């Protein structure tokens, strides 16, 4: 079994300024601001969340915070699902980053689509959420349960053991098993775009994943959709 922390979202109207796990608002930098820029447009990516890294669960990891960003602009930008495409970024602090960044303290951030009295269509509204986590366990992807592939559909009970928004645990791949590169990777965050109170463009029913390399020096993000 693999330890996980299931995530519950709690909306806040007051900015969160501590080095804690949160979604939306503005990043609370552990070190100097390192806002990543889109490879294709050069604009600041959208801030999605920051994750406080539990040193007991992810040891040995020097980084204490992971910051997730993804390109999300008015015009479509391709390749946001790719871990090496330059349209998403996970910034670890303290650590050296290989992304092109700007020293910004605020920029595009998470939003909800809401109804306004004066608007005929839903409009974006900035939002921020703290989290409550609950400890539980996932089956081990390789020994406790059969991983799902495009040619092999899990039973509903088996698949539900992996699903949900969580820190740690085993990934629930929507398509084939996919990691950011060779070697061993550990799941830091799984986020299901259908089970969050804010907007995430992960395609049709998409799920996003932050993975940490075994040595804890690299973090990558990717998403899959049905």
Residues in a beta bridge with 7: 133
Q: How many helices (H) and strands (E) does the chain have?
A: 2, 14
Query: Minimal CA–CA distance to 187: which of 131, 145, 138?
Result: 138
- The helix (H) or strand (E) run that includes residue 102 is strand 101-102
Task: State the burial class of residue 84 (Cβ atoms within 10 Å of its Cβ: 0-12, 13-18, 19+).
Answer: exposed
What confidence tens digit (pLDDT) does each residue in 152-188 have?
Answer: 444 444 566 788 999 999 999 999 899 999 989 999 9
Residue 39: Cβ within 10 Å count: 17
Domains in the chain, start-ordered, CATH in brackets?
2-224 (2.30.320)
Are 70 and 97 in contact, with CB atoms under 8 Å apart? no
Query: Minimal CA–CA distance to 189: which of 201, 214, 172?
Result: 172
All residues at 6 or more sequence positions from 130 whose CB lies less than 8 Å from its CB, including other chains: 9, 10, 12, 16, 20, 21, 22
pLDDT score for 25: 97
pLDDT along the chain (226 residues), means of 10: 93 96 98 97 97 88 95 91 96 91 96 88 94 90 49 50 90 93 94 96 95 92 95
- 3-class SS at 216? coil
Query: Minimal CA–CA distance to 70: which of 51, 89, 95?
Result: 89
pLDDT score for 37: 97
| Length of the chain as a residue count | 226
| Alpha helices, DSSP H, located in the chain | 55-58, 156-160
Structure tokens at 154: 């899990």
Are 141 and 170 in contact, with CB atoms under 8 Å apart? yes
pLDDT score for 192: 97
Are 221 and 80 in contact, with CB atoms under 8 Å apart? no
- The helix (H) or strand (E) run that includes residue 98 is none
pLDDT score for 148: 43
All residues at 6 or more sequence positions from 160 whose CB lies less than 8 Å from its CB, including other chains: none
Query: Minimal CA–CA distance to 108: which of 69, 146, 59, 63?
Result: 69
The pTM of this model reads 0.91
């Amino acid at each position: 079994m693999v330890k996980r922390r299931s995530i519950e979202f709690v909306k806040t109207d007051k900015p969160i300024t501590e080095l804690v796990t949160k979604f939306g608002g503005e990043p609370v930098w552990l070190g100097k601001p390192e806002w990543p820029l889109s490879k294709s447009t050069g604009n600041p990516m959208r801030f999605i969340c920051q994750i406080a890294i539990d040193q007991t669960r992810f040891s040995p990891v020097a980084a204490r915070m992971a910051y997730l960003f993804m390109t999300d602009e008015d015009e479509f930008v391709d390749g946001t699902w790719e871990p090496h495409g330059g349209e998403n970024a996970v910034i670890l602090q303290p650590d050296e980053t290989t992304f092109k960044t700007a020293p910004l303290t605020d920029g595009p951030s998470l939003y909800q689509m809401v109804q306004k009295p004066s608007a005929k269509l839903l409009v974006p509204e900035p939002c921020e959420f703290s989290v409550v986590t609950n400890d539980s366990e996932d089956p081990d992807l390789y020994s406790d349960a059969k991983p799902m592939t495009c040619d092999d559909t899990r039973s509903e009970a088996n698949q539900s053991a992996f699903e949900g928004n969580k820190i740690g645990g085993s990934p629930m791949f929507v398509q084939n098993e996919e990691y950011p590169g060779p070697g061993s990777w550990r799941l830091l965050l799984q986020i299901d775009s259908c089970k969050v109170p804010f907007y995430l463009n992960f395609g049709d029913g998409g799920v996003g994943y932050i993975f940490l390399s075994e040595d804890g020096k690299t973090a990558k993000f990717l998403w899959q959709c049905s």
